[in-house]
Structures are given as structure tokens and as C-alpha cells.
Amino acid sequence: MSTPPHTHSSGKCPVTGASGADPHAFCPAQEGDSRAPCPAMNSMANHGYLPRDGKGVTADIIVDALMAAFRLSKPLAWALTHGALLLLDQGSAPFELHDLARHNKVEHNASLYHPNAGPREEYAPLHGDAALLKEFFATSKDGRVMTAEDVARVRVRREAATPIDFVHAELARGEMAIVLNMFNNPDAALHDEGVPLQPRSSVSSFVRSLFGYKDTGANRQLDGVPIERMQYWFEHERLPPDWTPYHETTLLETIGTINRLRSAMSAMRKTGEGQVQGEGEVEAEDTAKAPAKSVEVEAAKVGQHEEEDVSDDENAGGVPSLSHSRSATSETFSLPPTPQTSQFVTPPLASKGKGVDGIATTNDLEPRIIGKELRELEEIGSEQVVGVVA
Ligand code: HEM
């Protein structure tokens, strides 16, 4: 993939210079850059996987970027991109990220942490809403990770407040299905604290048991994404420093999680677990359920990151953050400014069978002779392939 030049609309990057040594160093949007209501697209632009000014974007550029930045499989990256661009209905000409905010094309109401579009607005707001975000994480049952069930609970609530059509409801599930599969690196410490591992199908478990394999918190993805990691990504549109693209996120895996979200949502609707409420209100029941390690505690931890980041800001001359908004003045998150310089370097992609930074991949943990077959068995056995993928 050819790396887009490290420039913004102004023609240069004020943080890393016009030709930074690291083409994927983080740099938030600058005045005149174009951004989308999508944390993935924006973070790829902020790291230079997409053009940093968010303009002149094509399907091929997005597919390559999704594979390089997030390690999506090619079929998933292709289906996601072409599905979205079909809905956007702008033909195949290059477009800018803000085009994705056109309401009721790909963008929809009842988002997790973006406000709804106004009744006559052609473009939806790009900024996140701090109250919605707080409400989102307060829904975590264990206060440590967001699971598919936690996300389903929020989606039920958001769609009860603002109903959306089936296609957009599937899209909304698809967005979070990828997040859930992408950011769930193994974590022995969290597993010791009770966070379960991602479930395997009985077929896969049986075959693995024949070969004596045992899943542990150190070698198997968690069944959930740490709140702190997800929150950092949403708020800063920056690749989380504690994350490595541990495994490839596949199309089948994503369809499986979409199905899981859909089933959980329909079960919750039957039991009345979702509640209608206005935007920004924290549902009392869910908040009451939130355990000792609450969102405030998590927020405080993120705050620690911010303290370091703010000093980066000072070094960089305190350029105001445009993260999550099109203009410097429309920032809704009441958070410290997004850092302008970054020590964080996107980790290199794991080569096949080798982990990033020495972390073993699934391939390392299974004999080559059965590794691929096991994964296929797992994918086919665990989920019926139903539904549309975003
Ligand atoms: C790694 C791949 C991707 C991930 C993990 C991802 C994740 C997300 C998430 C979590 C949201 C929800 C924000 C919210 O509810 O407030 C979102 C929204 C959105 N994404 Fe992405 N996305 C990905 C790729 C894409 C691509 C390829 C496109 C289009 C080319 C796209 C377009 C959008 C749009 C238009 C929205 C706004 C939808 C809304 O109104 O909530 N995304 N994305």
C-alpha cells in the first residue's frame, strides 16, 4: 500500500512536519480537514492510514487502510467498505470523510454516543456526546469490559428512544461487532478478575480437547473489550496504546457477533430489559447495577493518560483539539484536549504466525497442520451465517 502524504488541508502537518519519520504517527484533525461520524475512519485519518485531510478517499484506500490499521481480513474490509459506499450512493468518485455524515445513508439515528440529526438536517453531527458516552459505559455489567450483551442493552435502549429501520439497525450492530472482535486482546489479569474468554463452539472445543489444548487468559481473546481501551479510542480517535492487532478480524467472526447482538437484543426486548429514555439520561437501573469499579473510576484512569497527554500538548504548542468535531469550537466531550504529539507508534502488523511484540498469535498456539481447519470449524460450528453485513 502506498502511504498517503502526511499533509493536511493546509499542506503540512503542524505536529510531525510534512514528512514525519513515522508515517503513522498520531496527529488529530486540523482546521480544514474533513472527518466522519465514525471513530474507525477518523482514527485511520489521524494516523495517516487514510489521507490526513480526509479528502480524496476511495474504496481501495479504505480497504487497504482497514487491513493495515486494524488487521481486518480482506473479505471483511471489502464487504464493509463496498456495502457502506453502496448505501452512500455517491458513485465511485473520490469523496471526503464528511460525506459519510449524510443522514440516513450510512449514518443513522440512535447512535451509541453521537447525537441524532435534527429533523431537517442533511448531515448528522460529528461530535460525540459526553453524557451518552457515560451512559454507554455505565451499562457494563462488570464495570471492567463491554461485552456483546452490554452493547446489546445499550442498542435496545437507544433504538427504543429513536426507532431505526432494519438495515441501519444491522449496520449499528456490525460497527460494534467489529469493535468487540478487534479490541479484545488476551489479558490474563482481567481474566483472573473474572472476565470470561471469548466463547468457542462445542465442535471447536471438542477438537481442541483431543489435542490437549487449553484456553487461558494469556492465549485467548477476552469476551469483551476493556472499557478504558474503548473509551480512549472513542474519545481521541487514536489507536489505543495498550492494544496490538493480536489477531485478524474476519467476516465470519463479525457475522457471528452480529447474530449474537441481534439475539441478545430480541431476548432483552421480550423481557423488557431495554427502557425508553431521552438522550443523555443515564438509566437508573443500569447505573445502580454498575459495580464498584464504576465509569468514574475508569474515567479517572483515562484522566491519568490525559495528564501525560496534556504535557505533550504543551510541548506541541497547545493546538486545540478537533477530535470528534468538524470545527475547533464544536467539541462536546468535556475532556482534556487530545494530545498533539504522540510517542505512540502503531505496532507493525504481525507477520503470519508471528505475534506483534512477541505476543503469540492463534497460529502460534495451534499446530500448523490443524490451525486453519480449527478456525474454520469454529466459525462454521459456532454461528449460523445469517443476516446482512454492514
Ligand atoms: C474497522 C472498521 C470499522 C469500525 C470498527 C467502525 C466502528 C464504528 C462505530 C463503533 C460507530 C458508532 C458510533 C456511534 O454509534 O456513535 C461507527 C459509526 C459509523 N461508521 Fe464506522 N466503523 C468501521 C468502518 C467504517 C467504514 C469502512 C465506513 C464507511 C466507509 C464507516 C462509516 C461509519 C458511519 C457513516 C458511521 C455513523 C453511523 C451512526 O450514525 O452511528 N465505518 N463506526
CATH code of the domain in which 298 resides: 1.10.489.10
Cell of 32: 480544514
Does residue 25 sit within a domain?
Answer: no
Give the rounded percent of residues in the chain with a pLDDT score beyond 70: 65
Residue 58 and residue 36 in contact, taking contact as beta carbons nearer than 8 Å: no
- Is residue 162 included in any domain, yes or no? yes
Q: Provide the pLDDT for residue 12.
A: 64
Structural domain includes residue 50:
yes
Model confidence at 334: pLDDT above 60 = no
In a domain? residue 192: no
Q: Is position 7 within any domain?
A: no
207-258 per-position pLDDT tens digit: 998 999 989 999 999 999 999 999 999 999 999 999 999 899 999 999 999 9
Dump the DSSP string for 302-369: HHHHHHHHHHHHHHTT-PPP-TTSSSTT---S-SPPPPSS----PPPPPPTT--GGGPPPHHHHS-HH
Q: What percent of the chain has pLDDT over 90?
A: 58
Three-state DSSP at 45 gives helix
Given pLDDT bands bounded at 50, 70 and 90, which one contains residue 6?
Answer: low
* Residue of the CA atom closest to atom 3 of ligand 1: 40
Q: Is the pLDDT of residue 329 over 70?
A: no
In the reported structure, the alpha carbon of residue 175 is separated from the centroid of ligand 1 by a whole-number distance in angstroms of 5
Q: Given this model, what pLDDT does residue 383 score?
A: 38
Residue nearest to atom 27 of ligand 1 (CA): 81
Q: What is the DSSP string of 36-97?
A: -S-HHHHHHHHTTSS-TTS-SB-HHHHHHHHHHHH-B-HHHHHHHHHHHHHHHT-TTS-B-G
Amino acid 10: pLDDT: 63
Where is average pLDDT lowest: 105-114, 269-278, 347-356?
347-356
- Give distance in angstroms: CA of 131 to centre of ligand 1: 19
Is 230 inside a domain boundary? yes
Q: 72: CA distance to ligand 1 center in Å?
A: 14
pLDDT at 322: 31
Torsion of CA 327, 333, 337, 343, to 10 degrees: -100
Give the residue numbers spanning the domain of 243: 39-185+221-349
H helices, E strands: number in the chain: 14, 2
Q: How far is the CA of 367 from the centre of ligand 1 (A)?
A: 36
**Cut 0.85: pTM above it:** no
- Residue 280 backbone class (left: φ over 0; alpha: ψ -120 to 50; beta: rest): left
Distance in angstroms (rounded) separating the CA atoms of residues 179 and 40: 9
For the CA of 77, the nearest atom of ligand 1: 27
Domain annotation covers residue 5: no
For position 247, what pLDDT does the model report?
93
pLDDT band at 107 (very low <50, low <70, confident <90, very high): very high
User: Atom 18 (ligand 1): residue with closest C-alpha?
Assistant: 38
Instruction: Decide: 273 and 156 in contact? Cβ < 8 Å.
Output: yes
Mean pLDDT (the chain) is 75
Question: Is residue 116 a contact partner of residue 291, using CB atoms and an 8 Å limit?
Answer: no
pLDDT of residue 21: 61
Identify the residue with better confidence: 275 or 152. 152
pLDDT band at 272 (very low <50, low <70, confident <90, very high): confident
* For residue 280, pLDDT beyond 50: no
Residue 69: is its pLDDT beyond 70?
yes
Instruction: List, for residues 8-36, the tens digit of each pLDDT value.
Output: 666 666 666 555 567 888 989 988 899 99
Give the bridge partners for 38, in sequence order: none
Matching residue, cell 487491513: 67
Cα dihedral 235/241/246/248 (nearest 10): 40
Q: What is the pLDDT of residues 187-202, one digit of tens each?
A: 999 999 999 999 888 8
**What's the pLDDT at 16?**
64
Mutation to probe ligand 1, out of 64, 109, 175, 178 (largest number of atoms < 8 A from CB): 175
b/e string for 209-247 if b means 16 or more Cβ within 10 A? eeeebebebebbbbbbbbbbbbbbbbbbbbbbeebbbbb
Tell me which residues have their CB closer than 6 angstroms to ligand 1.
Answer: 36-41, 62, 66, 70, 72, 80-81, 84, 100, 106-108, 111-114, 124, 175-176, 178-179
Of ligand 1's atoms, which has the minimum distance to the CA of residue 111? 15
* 120-125 mean pLDDT: 96
pLDDT of residue 312: 33
- Strand-pairing partners, residue 197, are 222
Closest atom, ligand 1, to C-alpha of 66:
1
Q: What is the predicted pLDDT for the residue at 160? A: 96
Q: Measured between alpha carbons, how far is 35 from 52 in angstroms, rounded to an integer?
A: 9
- Confidence class of residue 281 from pLDDT cuts 50, 70 and 90? very low
More reliable by pLDDT, 106 or 326: 106
Which grid cell sits at 327? 470545527
Sorted by sequence, the CB contacts under 8 Å of residue 206 that are 6+ apart come out as: none
12-16, 77-81, 118-122 — which one is most confidently predicted on average? 77-81
Alpha-carbon distance of 155 to 138, in angstroms, equals 13
Strands (E), 82-196: 145-146
Nearest to 229 by CA among 139, 146, 340, 154: 146
Ligand 1 atom nearest to 106, measured from its CA:
35
- Give mean pLDDT, residues 271-280: 63
Q: Indicate the number of domains in the chain.
A: 1
The answer on pLDDT for 88 being more than 50 is: yes
Kindly give the distance from the C-alpha atom of residue 37 to the centroid of ligand 1, in angstroms, as a whole number.
7
The answer to the question of residue 45 being in a domain is: yes
Q: Which residue has the higher pLDDT, 170 or 378?
A: 170
Q: What is the dihedral of CA 279, 158, 138, 239, to 10 degrees?
A: -100
